[in-house]
Amino acid sequence: MNRQWWHNKIAYQIYPKSFYDSNGDGIGDLPGIIEKLDYLSYLGVDILWLSPIYQSPLADQGYDISDYYKIDPRFGTMEDMDRLITEAKKRNMYILMDLVVNHCSDEHLWFQKAIQDPEGEYGNFFYLADEGEKKPCNWRSYFGGSVWSPLPGTGKQYLHMFHKKQPDLNWENPRVREEIYKNINWWMEKGLAGFRIDAIINIKKPLPFSDYPADREDGLCSPEVMLANASGIGEFLGEMRDETFAKYQAFTVGEVFNEKPEDLEKFIGENGYFSTMFDFHEAVIGHSPKGAYDNRPVTPEEYKNACFTAQAKIGDTGFYSNLIENHDEPRGVSHYLPGPPCEAAKKMLAGLYFMLRGIPFIYQGQEIGMENTEVSSIEQIDDISARGEYETALKAGLSPEEALAAVSLMSRDNARTPMQWEDSPGAGFTKGTPWLSVNPNYHRIHAADQMEREDSLFQFYRKLIGLRKDSDYGETLVYGSFAPYLKEQKNLMAYFRKGPEKTLLVMGNFQKEPQEAVLPGVAARIVLNNLPHTEIKENKIMLEGWQYVILEVK
Ligand code: GLC
Ligand code: CA
């Protein structure tokens, strides 16, 4: 494998609206990110991915772009963006923007022109159909309801895989692709390191549109069925790589769900369409086809098996990007750890996913152990996806209380509450009123405490990051192979990372009770431990509840 500049890097996702508000309007902004660059540099992360900051009506919090060449004034100015890129470079950090090109906003000029003249040039930028008796297909949008909505005042309808304010762009039209590549190159010229590529697997539709068997009482079918039936996406993705990213050695990470094993080489192998893509095997555990209200909690065994399946699938074909949370998922520590998460358990989860083969991503606030938030009414929920799921739950017969309880476990607001900087009003995120309520636990969980306290989760993340860059262990942790260990032992997650010179054994006791595990050989050194002590007797290790260790073994 040819070595790339990003192989040993650590990425950090910023959700700008909730990161740091520099001017007291309650909305996080670019100057706020610049102010916190030293914090991020102290943490040790290298690549910063910014969720969208382009001009947008924020119907889906910026994943609905109305001008790809402008910064939304709520986030700052283009000068702020240029300054962020420059200031990041000074600290050897790289900036990724979010590339949202499966769809744009219904307020984008292209869509406005399509409404004015559906038969004209811009009509063909979207998927339009005559508004007949029947919709062209029975696909359900990701946020609930049909993917088809009327194109106002035209007698036509248009397709949206997500919200109706997010019309899908017609990638079959070469003019659309040309506009997209032009925009990507324009941003790359500004000095970006690359992009996180949103919802990209949806750009290829199986055409002509047709119905698939309905899977709920609404008569619609899951959008995943359309993904499974689409073929030929590689032509678009290969063209995009050649026209844009390849020219800049860009780092790109694709948001890809449901990838087929045979696609991995093409997607993220040598000269793949992307540098890497997220491993979502863990994120989808327990998801019900009926809707989020019917999701099940994740067990430690399921979490382990999902990680191991993904690692086996990728082998050394390329690198997955590993994560426990992002702006679309619940907080990892609330989702994957059974019961109220203690700090030792948070460290264990951090250490387990971080040392998997791949590129570790940290989502803002994860490094201080931020948790899911509580809501007492649906009005407090901003997330349009959770609102759609709430409706689905009510239709399925749940009471409003039950629906709210179920939906609050997966609401994307959990990850979007403001970053908890300190124990002061507004959690140090804003001096004004935050756009989304802060999690009331900020008195207990905040960055100021964690940075100061030697045994904090934050300091533990710094150690994890340090190991990947360590001259003794970095090579093994970045390039070493992966192999499961004692896979059948319940609530123990253990694996080897083997390099040409060193072998590391990563172990986590995924329960509050202690458990014993047999070691494969002599432990030469304890490289990392989340607790003050370790008990090793001959060939056995006695792990306390939630204990996590990395051992160098001979
Ligand atoms: C991706 C984003 C999500 C957004 C959706 C539509 O899944 O991560 O936040 O709602 O795409 O753009
Ligand atoms: Ca602001």
User: pLDDT per residue over 49-60, tens digit each?
Assistant: 999 999 999 999
The answer on pLDDT for 258 being more than 90 is: no
CB distance 199 to 255 below 8 Å: yes
Percent of the chain exceeding pLDDT 90 equals: 97
Catalytic residues: 198, 255
The residue whose CA is least distant from atom 4 of ligand 1 is 63
pTM for the full model? 0.98
Cβ of residue 63 lying under 6 Å from some atom of ligand 1: yes
Q: Is 100 in the pocket of ligand 1 (CB under 6 A)?
A: yes
Query: What would the mean pLDDT of 92-97 be, rounded to a whole number?
Result: 98
Whole-number Cα distances in Å, 179 to 101, 168, 176, 525: 10, 14, 5, 55
**Residue 341 burial class via C-beta count within 10 angstroms: exposed 0-12, middle 13-18, buried 19 and up:** buried
Cβ 297 vs Cβ 275: under 8 Å: no
Pairing of strands 11-14, 67-71: unpaired
User: Binning pLDDT at 50, 70 and 90, where does residue 450 land?
Assistant: very high
Distance between CA atoms of 276 and 251, rounded to whole angstroms?
8
pLDDT at 132 over 90: no
Q: Is 184 touching ligand 1 by the criterion CB < 6 Å?
A: no
User: CA torsion sign, 262 to 264 to 265 to 267?
Assistant: positive
With a CB cutoff of 8 Å and minimum separation 6, the contacts of 235 are: none
What's the number of CA atoms in the CB half-sphere (13 Å) around residue 455? 7
Which residue's CA is minimally distant from atom 6 of ligand 1? Answer: 63
Distance CA 310, CA 33 (A): 33
With cut-offs at 50, 70 and 90, classify the pLDDT of residue 420. very high
pLDDT tier for residue 397 given thresholds of 50, 70 and 90 = very high
Ligand nearest, relative to CA of residue 61: 1
Query: What is the 198 CA–ligand 1 centroid distance (Å)?
Result: 6
The answer, yes or no, to whether the previous bond of 208 is cis (omega within 30 of 0) is yes
For residue 412, which atom of ligand 1 is closest to its CA? 9
Q: What is the pLDDT of residue 98?
A: 98
Closest residue (by CA) to atom 11 of ligand 1? Answer: 199
For residue 64, which atom of ligand 1 is closest to its CA?
12
CA distance 239 to 117: 29
pLDDT grade for 138, boundaries at 50, 70 and 90: very high
Average pLDDT, integer, range 449-475: 98
Q: What percent of the chain has pLDDT over 70?
A: 100
Structure tokens at 356: 């998997």
Instruction: Give the residue, by CA position, lying nearest to ligand 1 atom 7.
Output: 199
Instruction: Choose one of 54, 328, 382, 416 to mutate for the ligand 1 pocket test, by most ligand atoms within 8 angstroms of C-beta.
Output: 328
Atom of ligand 1 nearest to the CA of 63: 12
Beta strand extents in 32-182 (DSSP E only): 47-50, 54-55, 67-71, 94-99, 128-130, 148-151, 156-159
CA of residue 254 to ligand 1 center, whole Å: 12
User: How far does the centroid of ligand 2 lie from the alpha carbon of residue 39, in Å?
Assistant: 19
The protein residue with its alpha carbon nearest to ligand 1, atom 12, reads 63
User: What's the confidence (pLDDT) of residue 353?
Assistant: 98
* Ligand 2 centroid, distance to 1 Cα (angstroms): 44
Asked if pLDDT for residue 365 goes beyond 90, the answer is yes
- Ligand at shortest distance from the CA of 75: 2
**For the CA atoms of 56, 61, 64, 67, what is the dihedral angle to 10 degrees?**
20
Q: Cα of 27 to ligand 2 centre, how many Å?
A: 4
Q: Which of 162, 164, 166, 410 to mutate to test the pocket of ligand 1 (most atoms within 8 A of CB)?
A: 162
Q: What is the dihedral of CA 452, 6, 237, 412, to 10 degrees?
A: -10
Question: Is any ligand 1 atom within 6 A of the Cβ of residue 199?
Answer: yes
Q: What is the pLDDT, as a whole number, of residue 247?
A: 97
Q: Is residue 162 within 6 Å of ligand 1 at its C-beta?
A: yes
Q: Minimum-distance ligand to the CA of 388?
A: 1
Ramachandran area for residue 486 (φ above 0: left; ψ -120 to 50: alpha; else beta): left
Kindly indicate the confidence band of residue 304, based on its pLDDT and cuts at 50, 70 and 90: very high
- The terminus-to-terminus CA distance of the chain in angstroms comes to 26
- The full length of the chain comes to 554
* Ligand sitting nearest the alpha carbon of 20: 2
DSSP output for 264-285: HHHHHSTT-SSSEEE--TTTTT
Measured between alpha carbons, how far is residue 200 from residues 147, 194, 253, 284, 481 in Å?
Answer: 17, 15, 10, 18, 29
Confidence label for 271 from pLDDT (cuts 50, 70 and 90): very high
Whether ligand 1 lies within 6 angstroms of the CB of 60 is answered as yes
Regarding the beta carbon of 30 and ligand 1, being less than 6 Å apart is answered no
Question: What single-letter amino acid sits at 120?
Answer: G
In a 13 Å sphere around the CA of 343, the CA atoms on its Cβ side amount to 17
Q: Report the atom number in ligand 1 closest to the C-alpha of 143.
A: 10
pLDDT tens digit sequence for 505-534: 999 999 999 999 999 988 789 999 999 999
8 Å CB contact between 380 and 437: yes
Task: Give me the mean pLDDT over the 197-226 stretch.
Answer: 97
Ligand 1 atom at minimal distance to the Cα of residue 102: 12
- From the CA of 19, the nearest ligand is 2
Which among 165, 198, 326 is the best mutation to test ligand 1's pocket, defined by most ligand atoms within 8 Å of the CB? 198
Which residue shows structure tokens 């094993």?
261
Q: Ligand 1 pocket: which of 18, 60, 66, 160 to mutate (most atoms <8 Å of CB)?
A: 60
CB burial of 100-116 (b: ≥16 within 10 Å; e: otherwise) equals bbbbbbbbbebbeebbe
**What letter does residue 488 receive in the DSSP assignment?**
T
Walk across the sheet containing 128-130 and list its strands.
128-130, 156-159, 148-151
Q: What span, in angstroms and rounded, lies between the C-alpha atoms of 123 and 116?
A: 9
pLDDT, residue 554, reads 87
pLDDT value of position 494: 98
The atom number, within ligand 1, closest to the CA of 163 reads 6
Q: Ligand 2 mean position to 416 CA, how many Å?
A: 15
pLDDT band at 140 (very low <50, low <70, confident <90, very high): very high
Q: How far is the CA of 172 from the centre of ligand 1 (A)?
A: 21
Helices (H), 36-104: 37-43, 78-90
Indicate if ligand 1 lies below 6 Å from the C-beta of 328. Answer: yes
Show Cβ contacts of residue 518 under 8 Å, excluding neighbours closer than 6 positions.
486, 539, 540
Tokens of 139: 């696909």
Across the chain, what does the average pLDDT equal? 97
Closest ligand to Cα 432: 2
521 alpha carbon to ligand 2 midpoint, in Å? 55
* Separation of alpha carbons 441 and 439, rounded Å: 5
Cα 365 to middle of ligand 1, angstroms: 19
Measured in Å, residue 28 CA sits from the centre of ligand 2 at 5
